[in-house]
Chain A
Amino acid sequence: MVFLALGIEGSANKIGVGIVNGDGEILANPRRTHIAPPGSGFLPKETADHHRAHILDLISEALSQAQVTLSNISLICYTKGPGMALPLSVGALVARTLSQLYNIPIIGVNHCVGHIEMGRLVTKAENPTILYVSGGNSQVIAYNESRYRIFGETLDIAVGNCLDRFARIINISNDPAPGYNIEQLAKQGKNLIELPYVVKGMDVSFSGMLTFIESIAKNHSQEDLCFSLQETAFAMLVETAERAMAHCNSNEVLIVGGVGCNLRLQEMVKDMLKDRNGKLHAMDDRYCIDNGAMIAYTGMLQYQHGDRMELIDCTFTQRFRTDEVLVTWRS
């Protein structure tokens, strides 16, 4: 019998269901995105409502794409955290219910580790330095002694959050994503406005930049503002990634998280790597964007290496650090 893992991800504004087999092959990976109206961010309750409205359809869709039924599933995986509580609760609830109804083992997965493991699977990167950039996270991570250690991170808001909030300030559309629209506008920008560049050791900070850019927004074109914000914020991230690489003697970078889709960010990381003869892995939806398959695959790794969870432990949590997870499958 083939081992099949079903994964549910719903920690932010995307709800996704993925099915992978024992070889890590993705059999299905549909998802839906909750798009907030312009000028506002996605709110927990509305996002959870969105997830609740779509999750059952997504499960049916995934099963039929993979041409299997729930009785063929060997393991149910769900995102335990970190993320927004209400949206997380939807995935956890459905996972527990399926596990009970069909008597399938269940396992909770750390969302960040999910990105990383899917990234390693897809790219075959052996020991990459990970630049994790999303709406909720900005971290530089590297593997060390059975943990994904956080070498540097944001001291306040995440880079994606900074971009989203900036988009709201200057009224840029949320469709398809604020970050995408900023990226397009930035291409037309010409003048670099000096913005606060805050790197403290290995850590970065974006809140000062956001406050500052808000105060000067009316004096500049949208294009120049987008251009300056991207150039400055991304330079801070690339710089800390390079420091972590020097520290760990790593020469590969894996970009994960939604902001990783930004082509300018990818280009900057590539430029940095050119000087180090390094290699970049990016731009693949399978690990860049939140999805169910990455949760299914990571849960399967945990399960295959002896991890088990009782139903009572199948909770969810807003706060769940990447380095809390004991990485039993790498040694």
Chain B
Amino acid sequence: MDLTLISQGAEGKIYTCTFLGKKSIKKERISRSYRQKSLDTKLRERRLIQESRNLVKIRKEGVPVPGLYFVDTITCSLYMEFITPSISLKNFFIQNPSIPQSLLSDFANQIGKSVALMHNVQCIHGDLTTSNMLLKPQVSLATEILNDFSPADYLVNPCMVYFIDFGLSYGSSTPEDMAVDLHVLEKAISSAHPQLEKIFIEILAAYKIHKRKADSVLTKLEQVRMRGRKRLAFG
């Protein structure tokens, strides 16, 4: 199989490849020599399974995530849909200095709704940043248009916000964990895109509409903000 390495994080390696005849993403969790073999195997396997289940679980709730193509339990790899054409929300914000308010509101609504839908099924993303969200032109567009998509085209065509990288995702039903998930996003936006800080208010508004028992999460969020995500250090 021809693999092209596109990134290497702490979790593993991401490649593009052709799988079942389609251009796909391969995400491989590599073995880490610092931990005992049995622990290493168990962790990689468990997380592979957790990530794949979470992907399918939240797709069922209507959150746009890459389609899953194959779970290789031997090499601990996932094969999944290569979202194309697409641009990360981060790059979109950086490359387009002025973005119409209506478009920002649209994205904020989608993000808030999707995070709410994840949380409704006790899935915490764990790494909500604008690098982990992709804009993909909506399916209703004709193929000819999609084949020739430039960064500016994302400004004038309706897009869907995809969520990627569930490598740090985990299951939890506590408002605390959900609040921290939201706060990570808030911090990511304010540090990477300070001029767009206000978008988070709209994200929260959409979250509130779609999240069951949103109030307890939003109250917690206030507390999390106050202490700056972390508890106080002792000793």
- Let me know if chains A and B touch directly in the complex, using CB atoms closer than 8 Å: yes
Binding site for B on A (CB under 8 A): 11-12, 82-84, 112, 134-137, 139, 150, 153, 155, 158, 192, 194, 197, 200-202, 231-232, 235, 238-239, 242-243, 245-246, 267-269, 271-272, 274-275, 318-323
A-B contact pairs, 20 of them (CB 8 A): A82-B235, A83-B235, A84-B235, A112-B233, A134-B235, A135-B235, A137-B234, A139-B233, A192-B38, A192-B39, A197-B43, A202-B168, A231-B35, A271-B33, A275-B33, A318-B234, A318-B235, A319-B233, A322-B233, A323-B228
A259 vs B43: C-alpha distance when bound (angstroms): 24
A274 vs B34: C-alpha distance when bound (angstroms): 10
* B183 → chain A closest CB, angstroms: 11
Binding site for A on B (CB under 8 A): 9-11, 32-36, 38-39, 42-43, 124, 126-127, 168, 170, 172, 177, 180, 184, 228, 230-235
Closest to A198 in B: B170
Supposing A318-B234, A319-B233, A320-B233 touch, asked if A268 and B34 sit within 8 A by C-beta, the answer is: yes
* A138 → chain B closest CB, angstroms: 10
Residue of A84, A232, A243 with most chain B CB atoms under a 10 A cut-off:
A243
A75 vs B26: C-alpha distance when bound (angstroms): 58
Contacting pair B126 A201 (CB below 8 A): yes
Consensus secondary structure, chain B interface: loop
A321 vs B235: C-alpha distance when bound (angstroms): 10
Contacting pair A231 B39 (CB below 8 A): yes
Closest to A319 in B: B232
* A24 → chain B closest CB, angstroms: 25
Contacting pair B127 A321 (CB below 8 A): no
A150 vs B231: C-alpha distance when bound (angstroms): 10
**Which residues of the other chain, A, contact B124 by a CB distance below 8 angstroms?**
200-201
Closest to B126 in A: A201
**13 further A-B pairs in the complex, CB-CB below 8 A; given A82-B233, A150-B230, A272-B34:** A82-B235, A83-B234, A136-B233, A197-B39, A202-B168, A238-B35, A243-B9, A271-B33, A321-B228, A321-B230, A321-B232, A321-B233, A322-B233
Residue of B34, B36, B127, B180 with most chain A CB atoms under a 10 A cut-off:
B34
* B90 → chain A closest CB, angstroms: 14
**Which residues of the other chain, B, contact A136 by a CB distance below 8 angstroms?**
233-235
**Which residues of the other chain, A, contact B180 by a CB distance below 8 angstroms?**
201
**Which residues of the other chain, B, contact A243 by a CB distance below 8 angstroms?**
9-11
* B27 → chain A closest CB, angstroms: 14
**Which residues of the other chain, B, contact A242 by a CB distance below 8 angstroms?**
10
A235 vs B172: C-alpha distance when bound (angstroms): 22
Contacting pair B233 A239 (CB below 8 A): no
A11 vs B234: C-alpha distance when bound (angstroms): 10
**Which residues of the other chain, B, contact A245 by a CB distance below 8 angstroms?**
10
Contacting pair B235 A12 (CB below 8 A): yes
**Which residues of the other chain, B, contact A239 by a CB distance below 8 angstroms?**
10, 32
Contacting pair B34 A271 (CB below 8 A): yes
**Which residues of the other chain, B, contact A201 by a CB distance below 8 angstroms?**
124, 126-127, 168, 170, 180, 184
* A223 → chain B closest CB, angstroms: 15
A299 vs B179: C-alpha distance when bound (angstroms): 36
Can you list the 6 inter-chain pairs with the closest CB atoms, starting with the nearest?
A: A136-B235, A271-B34, A319-B232, A235-B35, A268-B34, A242-B10
A192 vs B170: C-alpha distance when bound (angstroms): 25
A11 vs B9: C-alpha distance when bound (angstroms): 37
Residue of B168, B180, B231 with most chain A CB atoms under a 10 A cut-off:
B231
* B176 → chain A closest CB, angstroms: 10
Closest to A321 in B: B233
Supposing A135-B235, A197-B43, A201-B127 touch, asked if A235 and B9 sit within 8 A by C-beta, the answer is: no
Supposing A135-B235, A194-B42, A200-B126 touch, asked if A268 and B35 sit within 8 A by C-beta, the answer is: yes
A134 vs B124: C-alpha distance when bound (angstroms): 29
Supposing A235-B34, A235-B35, A242-B10 touch, asked if A200 and B233 sit within 8 A by C-beta, the answer is: no
A202 vs B188: C-alpha distance when bound (angstroms): 15
Supposing A200-B126, A201-B127, A243-B10 touch, asked if A235 and B235 sit within 8 A by C-beta, the answer is: no
